[in-house]
Structures are given as C-alpha cells and as structure tokens.
C-alpha cells in the first residue's frame, strides 16, 4: 500500500486543499457538514491529503458517497491512503506512548488503519 502511494503522481493543475480535514476540523449540524475550520495547513497543490476523511471521519455508505462526490482518479486515492496511514501511525504512536495507554483511542486508530488497508486491497 505504501509503495503504491509513493508511486502515484499528481499530474493535474494545483488546486486548493485544506491539509488537515480531520474530525476536529469539521463541524456537523443535523447530520450534514456545516463548516470546515482551522486553515493552518491550507495550500495549493495535490488534494490527496483531504481524502483522508473517507477513513478517519466517515465509514460505510457515507465514505462511499464521499468518494463518489470527489470523483478523484485512483492515483489520488492511493496517495490519500498514504496520507491516511502516515497520520494514523503518528496518532497511534502518541496514543501508545501516553502513560495512561488510551486503549480506546488506540483501537479507534487501528480501525482507521484497517479501513485504509481494506480500501487498498479492494482497489487492486
């Protein structure tokens, strides 16, 4: 999965991306996205980093609808899986390093990693 992400290339014109589209930066009202906040990592370039919401914030049918609405090519999704694994591993290390060993947080992060890997296998 990691090798696939590294080999995938963005050949389109640069576009705006948020850069940190994680649950804490997405506000939901009545079951719908109502706002995106925290633009500290926003920029112009490859939008693959913003696909990580498919695994970190969404699941099941909502994840599929998200992917269909974005309609990115497979290379963008491959890079997005790389971004997702990278971020999840960082969060997992911090969760495991904590003296309290937040087992629930670690389990949630492992489910994100499992979803990303399952998506990679389904895309093959």
Q: Is the pLDDT at 99 greater than 70, yes or no?
A: no
Residues 6+ apart with CB under 8 A from 107: none
Read off the pTM: 0.84
Q: How many domains does the chain have?
A: 1
- CA nearest to 20, candidates 35, 5, 41, 4: 41
Domain that holds residue 88: 2-123
CATH code for the domain of 96: 3.90.1200.10
- CA nearest to 37, candidates 28, 23, 26: 26
DSSP 17: E
pLDDT, tens digit (0-9, with 9 covering 90-100), for 51-93: 998 998 888 888 889 889 888 999 999 999 999 999 999 988 8
Instruction: Provide the pLDDT for residue 94.
Output: 85
């Amino acid at each position: 999965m990691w090798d696939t992400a590294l080999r995938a290339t963005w050949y389109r014109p640069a576009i705006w991306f948020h850069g940190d589209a994680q649950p804490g930066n997405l506000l939901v009202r009545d079951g719908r996205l109502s706002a995106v906040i925290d633009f500290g990592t926003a920029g112009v370039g490859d939008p693959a980093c913003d696909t990580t919401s498919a695994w970190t914030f969404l699941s099941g049918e909502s994840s599929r609808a998200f992917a269909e609405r974005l309609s990115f090519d497979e290379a963008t999704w491959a890079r997005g899986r790389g971004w997702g694994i990278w971020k999840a591993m960082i969060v997992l290390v911090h969760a495991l390093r904590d003296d309290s060993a937040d087992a629930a947080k670690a389990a949630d992060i492992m489910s994100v990693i499992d979803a990303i890997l399952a998506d990679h296998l389904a895309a093959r």
